Amino acid sequence: MRRYHLFIIYGLIAVLFLVVIIQNKQGIHSTVFGEEVTVEAADGQMMTFTIPEPKVRIFALPEEISFAGEPVPLHQSDVMERFEKEIYVNAYWQSNMILLMKRAGKFLPMIEKIFKEQGVPEDFKYLAMAESGLLNVVSPAGARGFWQFMPGTAKDYGLEVSNDVDERYHLEKSTLAAAKYLKAAFGKFGNWTSVAASYNMGIAGIGKRKEEQNQSDYYNLHLVEETSRYLFRILAFKEIFENPVNYGFDLSEDAIYKQPLFRELKVDQNIPNLAQWAIRHNSNYKELKIYNPWLRSSKLNVKKGKDYLIKLPID
């Protein structure tokens, strides 16, 4: 008799799972995952089960999406497939996405502020994620910082690159330089989608491909794989960040990293020893380097007529 009762119980559980699977295939977001289900056997025994989360889930992708106000032609099968690929690649790289979401709280507010002041669409903040993951990384070719400027391009857009100072690592100044580049590219192409692609391939590179293929639309160009994927990586970050719960991410506000309050110290004289200087200003070398990564040496030489603002956290 007990076997019969267990057979009934397991049968009910199987039915529940079947319903969940059918809902998932139909794009219905079921709410039963993680919920407890209690079943009473014929002998009065109560048994409680928890419906587990599925290990792999098929996402219901949006029917429409845009970049910088420009619609993405998802009705084109290859465009939809490229977008979908980047969604799954990034949504299922959960550790990277969680850390990126947490890290974004420290840096996106400043990026958004500068882009708004410069008249650059806010969607370009996701370009920094595609470039660097909001980390001061170094590419094999020597590009550095959030915006991955090469030394020559950095100097062209007003950034200092020297032994002591590399403003490619300066969030505000490098973001302003990126905004200048993006606006210059917009002046060339007249649409922001091509501007984003040019950040990966160069203004001349995208312009040449458009001319060779007699196409003005990025989505109709045949490009090398990196540039072909580039905008879709940006779109995937945008979609996941704007609809995180749809892709399994539900971070509380407390989980997001934040910058501390800063005090700014104006420096117009040489600093022969930055560690000692930091201690004199009630800080330390570690904090100095964390919050001023553009300081690339253990000292700072200041040219005549030049000055810098160094940030230190307020205790």
CATH code (residue 156): 1.10.530.10
Mean pLDDT for 84-88 is 97
CA nearest 228: which of 240, 220, 216? 220
Q: Residue 76: left (phi > 0), alpha (psi -120 to 50), or beta?
A: beta
- Note whether residue 24 is domain-resident: yes
Same domain, 122 and 231: yes
| Statement to judge: residues 243 and 279 lie in one domain | no
The answer to whether residues 77 and 148 belong to one domain is: yes
Residue 249 lies in a domain: yes
Give 100's pLDDT tier (boundaries 50, 70, 90).
Answer: very high
Residue that wins the pLDDT comparison between 131 and 15: 131
| 168 domain-assigned | yes
Question: Lowest-confidence range among 11-20, 219-228, 260-269, 281-290?
Answer: 11-20
Lowest-pLDDT range, 14-23, 185-194, 274-283, 299-308? 14-23
Give the mean model confidence (pLDDT) for residues 174-193. Answer: 97
Q: What is the mean pLDDT of residues 150-170?
A: 97
Is pLDDT at 147 greater than 70 in this prediction? yes
- Predicted local distance difference test score (pLDDT) of residue 54: 63
How is 213-261 classified by DSSP, letter by letter?
A: HT---GGG----HHHHHHHHHHHHHHHHHHSGGGGT----GGGS--PPP
In Å, what is the CA distance from 70 to each residue of 92, 190, 210, 279? 27, 12, 18, 50
- pLDDT tens for 56-68 read 788 999 999 999 9
- Say if residue 114 is in the same domain as residue 235: yes
pLDDT tier at 10 (50, 70, 90 boundaries)? low
Nearest 5°: CA angle at 160, between 304 and 168? 150
Name which of 272, 261, 269, 274 is nearest 302 in CA terms: 269
Dihedral angle over CA of 58, 60, 64, 65, nearest 10: -60
Higher-pLDDT residue of 240 and 7 is 240
Q: What percent of the chain has pLDDT over 90?
A: 81
What contacts 282, CB < 8 A, 6 or more positions away?
312, 315
- Domain match, 242 and 267 both: no
pLDDT score recorded for residue 28: 43
Would you place residue 53 in the very low, low, confident or very high pLDDT band (cuts 50, 70, 90)? low
Has residue 55 been placed in a domain? no
308: buried, middle or exposed (CB in 10 Å: 19+, 13-18, 0-12)?
A: buried
Predicted pLDDT of residue 23? 52
Average of per-residue pLDDT values in the chain: 89
* Contact assessment for residue 292 and residue 238, using Cβ atoms and an 8 Å cutoff: no
Residues 269 and 204 in one domain: no
Long-range contacts of 130-138 (CB under 8 A, 24+ apart): 130/230, 130/233, 130/234, 130/237, 131/199, 133/96, 133/100, 133/103, 134/100, 134/103, 134/104, 134/106, 134/107, 134/108, 135/103, 136/169, 136/293
d(CA 148, CA 157): 13
Question: Mean pLDDT throughout 23-50?
Answer: 58
SS3 57: coil
| One domain for residues 70 and 209 | yes
Structural domain that includes position 40:
2-50
Task: Flag whether pLDDT at 211 surpasses 50.
Answer: yes
Nearest to 247 by CA among 103, 57, 84: 57
Is 132 in the same domain as 193? Answer: yes
Does 57 fall in a domain?
no
Residue found under tokens 């999406």? 65
Asked if 126 and 239 sit in the same domain, the reply is yes
Same domain flag for 149 and 240 = yes
Residue with tokens 């749809």: 246
Quick check: is 97 in a domain? Answer: yes
Average pLDDT over residues 221-248: 95
Residues 146 and 231 in one domain: yes
pLDDT at 13 over 60: no
pLDDT classification of 315: cutoffs 50, 70, 90: confident
Cα–Cα–Cα angle for 262, 264, 267, rounded to 5 degrees:
155
- In a domain? residue 303: yes
| Residue 56 included in any domain | no
Residue 163 has pLDDT above 60, yes or no: yes
Q: Taking 80 as the threshold, does the pLDDT of residue 172 lie above it? A: yes
Indicate whether 173 and 30 sit together in one domain.
Answer: no
Is the predicted pLDDT of residue 99 greater than 60, yes or no? yes
Total number of domains in the chain: 3
Q: Report the length, in residues, of the chain.
A: 315
